[in-house]
Amino acid sequence: MISVKNLSLTIQDGRNNKELFQNLNLCLNAGQKIAIMGKSGSGKTTLLKALSGLIKTDKGTILFEGNDLRNMTANELSLHRLKNIGFIFQDNPMIASKNILDNIALPLKYLRLEKKMIENKVHHLAEKLAIQDLLLEKPTFLSGGERQRAGIARALITEPKLILADEPTGSLDFETEAIVLDIFQKIKLIDTSFVMVTHDPAVANICDNVYTLNDKQLHIH
């Protein structure tokens, strides 16, 4: 589904240039879950941004179902992310003035789905994630684990082809992390690929393959 070939990227690091990737390669099949580990500053989060088309690389290609992200316009990339990619972050940003239902539903509203269909999809997914009783609450009243489950729901609501997760359990305590990992494992992502950046081996172990980003390239364990 995703083919990354000979990716190279140099960024500005203070007054100096820093080469993050050099001829980096990756192949990701539909439904495959991979974890990416590595030292802080090695470029893990930057790689997620590149996979989503949020940043342009210096050289190489990123093909998403055969379409080269470098050839897409800004509007095409925005629509591509909205329809095909779900994002999960360490601290999922929510719109404080909106309740959880509206926060989860936001991508569907951008896709202009009918209101009844949106509500049905949100309630169905919220029930799976055990947050159906929180849909009318504002984000500030949720615990860290509840916010993370709401963030997972928002990432999954469009039934994306790719999930990109950046340290999704990094801010959670041990007990809450276990709950979230159990959710990841129970969610049926048959045709959805999953790329997760993490420092935690326990988190990485729920994936099919684990890579380390080291010396500007990905190395499979």
According to the per-residue pLDDT averaged within each range, which of 8-12, 18-22, 100-104, 152-156 is highest? 100-104
CATH of region 2-220? 3.40.50.300
Indicate the domain borders of the chain. Answer: 2-220
The tokens describing 192, both together, are 């959805």
115, with CB counted inside 10 A (0-12, 13-18, 19+), is exposed
Residue 128 has pLDDT above 80, yes or no: yes
The tokens describing 154, both together, are 């928002």
Residues 32-56, mean pLDDT to the nearest whole number:
93
DSSP state, residue 190: S
Asked if 86 contacts 150 with a C-beta cutoff of 8 angstroms, the reply is no
Residue 187 has pLDDT above 70, yes or no: no
Asked if 143 contacts 163 with a C-beta cutoff of 8 angstroms, the reply is no
For residue 33, what are the contacts with CB-CB under 8 A and spacing of at least 6? 189, 193, 194, 196, 206, 207, 208, 209
Looking up tokens 């420092």 gives 199
Residue 55: band (very low, low, confident or very high) from pLDDT cuts 50, 70, 90:
very high
Asked if 46 contacts 20 with a C-beta cutoff of 8 angstroms, the reply is yes
Residue 189: band (very low, low, confident or very high) from pLDDT cuts 50, 70, 90:
low
